[in-house]
Amino acid sequence: MTYVPLDITDLMLAASLLIANGLISIAFRLKLERSFVIAALRMVVQLSIVSLALTFIFQVNDPRWTAFFAILMGAAAAYEVNYRQERRVKGAIAIALAAGAPFLAGLVATLFAAIAIVAPDPWYAPRYLLPIFGMMLGNALTGTSLVLDTLTQGVQRERTAIEARLALGATRFEALDNVLRRALTTGLTPILTAMAATGIVSLPGMMTGQILAGVDPVAAAKYQVMIMFLISGATGIAVVAAGLGAVLLITDERHRLRLDRLES
Amino acid sequence: MLRVEHLKVGSLPALTFAVADGECLAIEGPSGSGKTRLLRAIADLDQVEGHVFLDGVERRELTGPQWRRAVRYVAAEAGWWTDTARPAISQTGTASARTGRMITTLGLTDAILDKPLSQLSTGERQRLALARALGDEPRVLLLDEPTGALDATSSALVEELIRFQMLAGRSVLLASHDVLLVGRLAHVRLQLARPQPAVSPTATRRNSP
């Protein structure tokens, strides 16, 4: 396995392309110059810190440090999923659900990969666990926020129909089944599209990375296939947990629709 | 017999009243006085303090769906969750036969059940919703503007249907702006005052219609 390492001048050469973005922004008066600079700086700083942290964690190779880093990633995901939603359900339980669904799904899928599929030695080797966990978390998070958004928008739009069903004696899951089904479909669509388009429209980032790092394309493709299956599993778990949990949160034990529990 | 005790709806004072089997209580008051909220509260669709009993059984002794199968709220604006009415109507044999008869009683035909709901008039959807609500024979009917979108002929058919439901022993709570309809149907009236500043509901009783 050989690859061409990059040095600082290579990166500065690549960064010069940002000037093009700046010029576009000025030419079309997009007012994005500042945002571009800030976003680029954030990326450099964040990736530097993460790469240094990962170097340290790979060296100590201690399950406690691995777990600690995984929890930090989960916390960042929790912030992201709650920040992304348009109209959240009020209360700490809702935040815990939005954060917990992707975390749980990512954990299950990653442990499954670590113990049964990849089985590195030791099984908790952070070099395998953390990147896999990150990919699971990211995709489960997208699914979760799509489900929660679709569901909260759906119950507001279809309030009359839902309450008509409740008034006729339907339970909360019966009354919300159309909305829930649509939310779950929306949450699962990205991974479906990704699987169908992979290799034709785009080479997935992970596979590209492995090929650039000198791995045989067939071996890289095998890894990518495994990752895609894991992602669909993780997304499925997260989407179902978030969907069922959200139905319980926007209704109550008397099977009433509680739109008052949505943030205004 | 439906009994309401100390029901606290919005800014209204706590309400206590009873409606006997086969009787009609009319709820009157200007828009915004809380007629809809009161009916929704009795159907347990909103969270409110106080007690509602049906034949001595408090609503919290039953699950929400059980209660609403007996105490049926029919909203002024009918909600639909399917493209045509048929799948949204009770599917059990006797209930759907009963709903079918009511659709005829209300001046509609069976064919309307398979037409796209979006192509029906508001009045047709409202009558369909009423027939849908009566299919499984609830004990109490909470009717919110049941003739709101109807012409005189259809209103008369709905009125007859309500009268028939009362003869069958059902209690009816009727919120309506149609004073003539209320005058003909109501045994008891509950007057809700303007929302502000002070509210004093009074119930007056008159002889049977």
| pLDDT for the residue numbered B203 | 58
Per-window interface: B 124-143 vs A, CB < 8 A: 129, 132-133, 136
Contact of B181 with chain A, judged by CB distance below 8 Å, is answered with no
Contact of B72 with chain A, judged by CB distance below 8 Å, is answered with yes
pLDDT greater than 90 at residue B201? no
Strand B2-8 vs strand B49-54: parallel, antiparallel, or unpaired?
antiparallel
| pLDDT for the residue numbered A123 | 87
| pLDDT for the residue numbered B204 | 57
Q: Burial level of A138, CB count in 10 A (0-12/13-18/19+)?
A: middle
Are B12 and B192 in contact by the 8 Å Cβ rule? The answer is yes
Q: Residue for token digits 């990059």? A: A6
Residue pLDDT, tens place only, B25-37: 999 988 889 999 9
Mean pLDDT of chain B: 90
Q: Taking CB atoms and an 8 Å limit, are B65 and A252 in contact across chains?
A: no
Mean pLDDT throughout A97-126?
Answer: 92
**Residue A160: its chain B contacts at CB < 8 A?**
75, 77-79
Those residues whose C-beta lies under 8 Å from the C-beta of residue A73, and which sit 6 or more positions away, are: A130, A133, A134, A137
Mean pLDDT throughout A16-23?
Answer: 90
Q: Which residues pair with B53 in a beta bridge?
A: B3, B58
Residue pLDDT, tens place only, B154-169: 999 999 999 999 999 9
pLDDT greater than 90 at residue B209? no
Those residues whose C-beta lies under 8 Å from the C-beta of residue B177, and which sit 6 or more positions away, are: B145, B148
Q: How far apart are CA A191 and CA A182, in angstroms?
A: 16
Contact of A116 with chain B, judged by CB distance below 8 Å, is answered with no
| pLDDT for the residue numbered B199 | 46
Q: Taking CB atoms and an 8 Å limit, are B79 and A163 in contact across chains?
A: yes
Nearest residue to A239 (alpha-carbon basis) of A120, A164, A139, A167: A139
Question: DSSP label at A261?
Answer: G
Q: What pTM did the predictor assign?
A: 0.86
Longest dimension (CA), chain B: 51
Residue of A254, A256, A257 to mutate, testing the B interface (most B Cβ within 10 Å of its Cβ): A254
Shortest CB distance from A169 goes to which of B46, B65, B81?
B65
Tokens of A65: 């440090």
Mean pLDDT throughout B39-68?
Answer: 96
A172: nearest CA partner in chain B: B65
pLDDT greater than 70 at residue A82? yes
Nearest residue to A245 (alpha-carbon basis) of A81, A68, A107, A135: A81
Q: How far apart are CA B86 and CA B89, in angstroms?
A: 5
Contact of A181 with chain B, judged by CB distance below 8 Å, is answered with no
Contact of A166 with chain B, judged by CB distance below 8 Å, is answered with yes
B129: nearest CA partner in chain A: A164
> Strand, helix or coil at A202?
strand
Shortest CB distance from A256 goes to which of B44, B81, B132?
B44
Contact of B169 with chain A, judged by CB distance below 8 Å, is answered with no
Q: What is the ipTM of this complex?
A: 0.90
Q: Taking CB atoms and an 8 Å limit, are B78 and A164 in contact across chains?
A: yes
Provide the pLDDT confidence category of residue A1 given band limits of 50, 70 and 90. Answer: low
Residue pLDDT, tens place only, B2-21: 999 999 998 899 999 999 99
Cα–Cα distances in angstroms (integers) from residue B34 to residues A25, B37, B103, B179, in the given order: 55, 5, 30, 17
Contact of B46 with chain A, judged by CB distance below 8 Å, is answered with yes
Shortest CB distance from A165 goes to which of B43, B77, B81?
B81
3-class DSSP string for chain B: CEEEEEEECCCCCCEEEEECCCCEEEEECCCCCCHHHHHHHHCCCCCCEEEEEECCEEHHHCCHHHHHHHEEEECCCCCCCCCECHHHCCCCHHHHHHHHHHHHHCCCCHHHHHCEHHHCCHHHHHHHHHHHHHCCCCCEEEEECCCCCCCHHHHHHHHHHHHHHHHCCCEEEEECCCHHHHHHHCCEEEECCCCCCCCCCEEEECCCC
Mean pLDDT throughout A133-147?
Answer: 94
Q: Which residues pair with B3 in a beta bridge?
A: B18, B53
Percentage of chain B with pLDDT > 70? 91
